[in-house]
Amino acid sequence: MRPFIIPALLACCAIAIAAPNSPKPDQLDSPHSTAAKSALIRANKDKAHAVAAYKKVMADTLRQLIHNLADARETILRGGGSEALAEGNRIQACIDEANRELALNAGQQFKISAARGWQPTINVSAGQNLRLAAYGTWCAGVKERSIYTCGPDGKPFGKKA
């Protein structure tokens, strides 16, 4: 049994040693084939749909939690007792936290045309957290679309740009 364990351990070590030298995703050369470009675009759209589905499930779960906690708070407060107010306050703190999480997860989505100039979407203040996700393509040179078409990261798929 030992002869099998040692090669397996060596293989794991070799992978671990080689991994730090592999290129980072932003250092990779973008694929040039139409099939690969289409696959990347399709995957980005699928990821966006998956994120939207996740956000919907999370929002539904949080709304149900808020509803259930409100019912529990009302039951506790109606029952009275020496600890009712303190327990009601603890439940309210959980409701407040769930409302904050619901507001953070709700986010806003915008469809922005790359063919137009700057477009107003939201106002951001200091201290706010902002998470952006993008999918789709845009073209910086319509005469040579195969060279100047870019993904959401702004990197062209072609060789020249």
Tell me, rounded to whole angstroms, the distance of Cα 109 from its chain centroid.
12
Residue 14: CB partners within 8 Å, gap ≥ 6?
none
Question: Does a structural domain hold residue 121?
Answer: no
SS3 assignment for 88-106: HHHHHHHHHHHHHHHHHHH
Distance of alpha carbon 42 from alpha carbon 45, whole angstroms:
5
Question: Does a structural domain hold residue 44?
Answer: yes
Question: Does a structural domain hold residue 95?
Answer: yes
Q: Which H helix or E strand runs over 150?
A: strand 149-150
Exposure string (b/e) for 88-119, b if CB count within 10 Å is 16 or more? beebeeebeebeebbeeeeeeeeeeeeeeeee
- Kindly report the backbone phi and psi dihedral angles of residue 133, in degrees, each rounded to the nearest multiple of 5, phi listed first: -140, 140
Question: Does a structural domain hold residue 25?
Answer: no
**29 three-class SS:** coil
Q: Which amino acid is at 149?
A: T
Question: Does a structural domain hold residue 91?
Answer: yes
Along the 161 residues of the chain, how does pLDDT read in single tens digits?
Answer: 334 333 333 333 333 343 445 555 555 677 888 898 889 889 989 998 898 888 889 989 999 999 999 999 999 999 988 899 999 999 999 998 888 888 777 766 677 776 778 888 777 788 877 777 666 777 777 788 778 788 777 777 666 54
**86 three-class SS:** helix
Per-residue pLDDT at 20? 46
Question: Does a structural domain hold residue 144?
Answer: yes
Distance of alpha carbon 50 from alpha carbon 46, whole angstroms:
6
Number of domains in the chain: 1
Question: Does a structural domain hold residue 20?
Answer: no
Q: Which H helix or E strand runs over 138?
A: strand 138-139
Segments forming the whole domain that contains residue 142 = 32-106+135-161
Question: Does a structural domain hold residue 21?
Answer: no
